[in-house]
Amino acid sequence: MQGTQAVHKDDASIEDVFASAHRVFEHTFKTQQCLHLPFESHVAIAEPGDARLTIYTSNQTPSFVRIEIARLFGWPENRVRVKVPYLGGGYGSKVYVKLEALVAALAMLARRPVKIALTMEEQFYMITKHPTTFRIKSGVDKDGRLVARSCEVYWNGGAYADIGPRVTQKSGFTAAGPYDIENVSIDSYALYTNRTPAGALRGFGVPQLVWGYESHTDLIARELGVDPVAFRRKNILRNGRPQASGTVLQDAAIAEVLEALVARICWDAPFDRGAGTLRRGRGIAIGLKASISPTTSVAVVNVSADGSVYLYKSTVDMGQGADTAFAQIVGEILDVKAEDVRVVAPDTDITPYDMGTLGSRSLFHMGNAVRLAAEDARAKLRALAAEAGLPAGTNYPPAEIFKKRYGMQAGNVIGTASFIPKYQPPDAQSGMSENVTPFWMVGGAAAEVEVDTETGQIRILRLINAADCGKPINPAVARTQLSGASIMQLGFTLSEAMQLDGGQVTNASLADYKIPGIGDIPPMENELVEAEQHSGPFGAKGLGESGTFGVSPAIANAIHDAVGVRIAELPITAEAVLRALRAKDGRLLEDD
Amino acid sequence: MSARTINFTLNGQAVSTAIEPHRNLVELLQRFDLFGARESCGQGLCGCCTVLVEGRAVSGCLYFAIWVDGKAVTTVEHLDADGVLSNVQEAFIACGAFQCGFCTPGFVLMCQQLLKQHPDPSDEDIRHYLSGNLCRCAAYPEIVAAVKQAAKTAATRAGH
């Protein structure tokens, strides 16, 4: 066992607070092992050259791959070239080194290019999403205010660390949820076991935590006889107040996301609860995530002599629309059309360092680097215009500036910038930090479900997603990110589960591992809650994961509302619901 | 296994090649530098390898290459052969009906077939036809919107 993160706001006294609290609630929630399953399985090619190596790979972290492969050979970085085209999906599965060291070693031995492409079945042995056990305990005072919360989270990381310890730490910061609680204790443990390793899957551990704390929150409200929304409103964490880690909340639209969900689902309006064997219920859940910090992004903007523009960056576009957003940012600053900005694909011989495309960090981190690089290019263009004797304050097209300065279509202007946000590492003893994240992500869901009490079947009648997106750079793309993340989490909620027998996966195929298809999509509404991320590029923040946060607990809470049973372990199958219904009636199924 | 010579029409062109009987259609197409049909699940469940054979959608990963002998094969690369994107392709772009794009060729080809048989498809028709195409990025709501838009533009084009 490897303990990796503890946050204790006031450790010594927390047991005293529990002892003197009006009510104390304690629950355990579990999540299953599932996986990313991009349709383009991991694939890499290594091509040996003259004392160097070129690697073509489907990977979210090209700079990291270069550094690691160079380190393995004891080479300088510039002898390894890593090229990454558009990915056929990633979702966190292609982070860090995966097949690259293997193809590199084989290519060096064979002195020939070597390719490895995984089959779909092999993906089940590559990287997965952590199964978790989350013990959560809360103390509430007479006014229904949360006064203490302790969280114990166990992350089943499998046989190798991969990015698991980082997931354990970073998600651990927000394990107590988006609530204002005076006394908090968090222990987050990364465990080694004999399973397929687990890493980051669209949410960096946060969906597993929201599953626990929002199920718990709903149970507390029900036990207290308080409306679950009213209970959340009373306890919600607001900007300007310290979060459990000690970092003051800023630019986090928690209340706004909650209220958007409440308004959309018409929480206060009369509601058809169904009849007979078909019962209906509603549930809400909201989640909070800290970004991955401290991480660096570097961008280069190149203005050619005819005024056309290149952007060099190592962010990987895997469908999230990063290239589009960055082209828009460059276009806005240099006053060119976004489609006229040539965004160069990651190639470590050409594109500068980036920590990686993960944890919804790109739009904020690389977006800021791109903005600063474009501003640098603009300043240099102005300087060039002055050198050329053009009057200041006049908006000459770049092509004219180059021609005037160099006498013909010649030259370049290179703007560059590095961006690394401020960060304070958590105190080794207390886990506290004044600056644990450069920005906060907020997402939530509201669900209306119908439960068939004879079969346990669940039908989602409405699924509403809302997320704080700062000021969206591209609202259409932002909306599809929210929707796609929610549907992916719907799979992890209702059907996806790796079945293991003695460490072997027994359902390692799309025939036996059920992901959402077009027939599984419920009526959905997606709301981008506009706010302002003051430190983000044009007020924007990352969004790729926020749509996953609330889905699972919103559905479990709705099921509880409909039929009075609590499902505490994912996935929520018809069988699980039926077993719970039968247990409630004292008519256990034969094998229970 | 020894290769066998097959003759077929590939995207409008008569072609001939020798291929081993155990190769599938995706592997055959790769020999012609056509990479739009992609093998993913390898079980005919995800639809990423969809190809039209005699105008009918098949799973390229389960379809033996030699079976196309004497037949007409159409891949996604052929849809804009006249320099103009098909109405389905246009609608996919307009509706943002993809994210990573890996499954998109399969969806586009299946939608071509759907609209040929149901020019004005209901939601049920759409779900039925696309139930064998999976999208891990889950662009399903946008795909449904794209099919409807393509049906509309096809009707407009036909009306001219």
CATH at B121: 1.10.150.120
Closest CA to A470 of A547, A548, A529, A545: A529
Q: Which residue has the tokens 């559905």?
A: A555
Residues B102 and B71 reside in one and the same domain: no
For residue A2, what pLDDT is reported?
Answer: 38
How distant is the alpha carbon of residue A447 from its chain centre?
21
CATH of the domain at B71: 3.10.20.30
Q: Which residues are within 8 A (CB) of A400 and not within 5 positions of it... i.e. 6 or more apart?
A: none
Nearest CB partner across the interface for B130, out of A40, A119, A518: A518
Please state the φ and ψ torsions of residue A545, each to the nearest 5 degrees.
-110, -20
Please state the φ and ψ torsions of residue A79, each to the nearest 5 degrees.
-95, -5
For chain A, what percent of residues have pLDDT higher than 70? Answer: 98
For residue A564, what pLDDT is reported?
Answer: 98
> How many beta-carbon pairs below 8 A join chains A and B?
98
pLDDT at B23 over 70: yes
Q: Which residue of A has its CA nearest to B128?
A: A519
Strand order in the sheet with A80-83: A80-83, A53-57, A43-48, A114-117
For residue A3, what pLDDT is reported?
Answer: 43
Is B105 at the interface with chain A, CB within 8 A? no
Q: Looking at residues A131-158, what average pLDDT do you find?
A: 98
Residues of chain A in Cβ contact (below 8 Å) with chain B: 37-41, 86-91, 119-120, 318-321, 476-477, 480-481, 483-484, 486-488, 509-511, 515-519, 521, 524
Contact B98 A38 (CB under 8 A): no
pLDDT at B160 over 60: no
Residues B55 and B107 reside in one and the same domain: no
For residue A428, what pLDDT is reported?
Answer: 87
- Asked whether A301 and A333 are in contact (CB, 8 A), the reply is no
pLDDT at A444 over 90: yes
Nearest CB partner across the interface for B99, out of A40, A119, A480: A480
Q: Which residue of B has its CA nearest to A480?
A: B139
Count other Cβ atoms within 10 Å, centred on residue A503: 12
Contact A88 B46 (CB under 8 A): no
CA angle A337–A340–A344, rounded 5-degree value: 130
Residues B65 and B9 reside in one and the same domain: yes
For residue A5, what pLDDT is reported?
Answer: 56
Extended beta strands in A396-435, E state: 412-419
Give CA–CA dist A578/A584, Å, rounded. 10
Q: Looking at residues A341-356, what average pLDDT do you find?
A: 98
For residue B31, what pLDDT is reported?
Answer: 97
Mutate to test the interface with A, among B38, B122, B136, B140 (most CBs of A within 10 A): B136
B127: domain range? Answer: 87-159
Residues B51 and B9 reside in one and the same domain: yes
Identify the CATH number of the domain defined by range A43-123: 3.30.365.10
Three-state SS for A270? coil
Give CA–CA dist A45/A106, Å, rounded. 10
CATH architecture for residues A2-34+127-292+430-584:
2-Layer Sandwich (3.30)
Three-state SS for B17? strand
A8 pLDDT band (50/70/90 cuts)? low
Angle between helices A398-406 and A362-387 (to 10 degrees): 40
Q: Which residues are within 8 A (CB) of A50 and not within 5 positions of it... i.e. 6 or more apart?
A: none
Residues B15 and B52 reside in one and the same domain: yes
Residues B97 and B152 reside in one and the same domain: yes
Give CA–CA dist A191/B88, Å, rounded. 49
How distant is the alpha carbon of residue A313 from its chain centre?
21
Taking the alpha carbons of B71, B77, B81, B87 in that order, is the dihedral positive or negative? Answer: positive
Buried b (16+ CB within 10 A) or exposed e, B17-49: eebeeebbbbebbeeeebebbbbbbbbbbbbbb
Residues B30 and B67 reside in one and the same domain: yes
Question: Which residues in chain B are contacts of A119 at CB distance < 8 A?
Answer: 42
Give CA–CA dist A327/B132, Å, rounded. 35
pLDDT at A282 over 90: yes
Question: Which residues in chain A are contacts of B142 at CB distance < 8 A?
Answer: 480, 483
Residues B60 and B35 reside in one and the same domain: yes
For residue A338, what pLDDT is reported?
Answer: 96
Q: Looking at residues A221-243, what average pLDDT do you find?
A: 98
A12 pLDDT band (50/70/90 cuts)? low
Residues B60 and B91 reside in one and the same domain: no
Range(s) for CATH 3.30.365.10 in chain A?
Answer: 2-34+127-292+430-584, 43-123, 297-419
- Domain count across chain B: 2
A292 pLDDT band (50/70/90 cuts)? confident
Classified by CATH at the fold level, domain A297-419 comes out as Aldehyde Oxidoreductase; domain 4 (3.30.365)
Tokens found for residue A356? 């990686």
pLDDT at A69 over 60: yes
For residue A322, what pLDDT is reported?
Answer: 97
In this prediction the pTM is: 0.96
Q: What is the DSSP string of A428-453?
A: TTT---S---S-EEEEEEEEEEEEET
Residues B72 and B94 reside in one and the same domain: no
pLDDT at B159 over 80: no
For residue A1, what pLDDT is reported?
Answer: 32
Q: What is the DSSP string of A492-545?
A: HHHT----EETTEES--STTTS----GGGPPPEEEEEE----TTSGGGB---TT
ipTM over 0.90: yes
Mutate to test the interface with B, among A481, A490, A494, A518 (most CBs of B within 10 A): A518
Q: Identify the burial level of A108 via C-beta atoms within 10 angstroms of its C-beta, where 0-12 means exposed, 13-18 middle and 19 or more buried.
A: middle
Residues B97 and B73 reside in one and the same domain: no
Is B156 at the interface with chain A, CB within 8 A? no
pLDDT at A230 over 50: yes
Residues B119 and B70 reside in one and the same domain: no
Q: Looking at residues A210-215, what average pLDDT do you find?
A: 98
End residue of a domain, out of B46, B78, B110 = B78
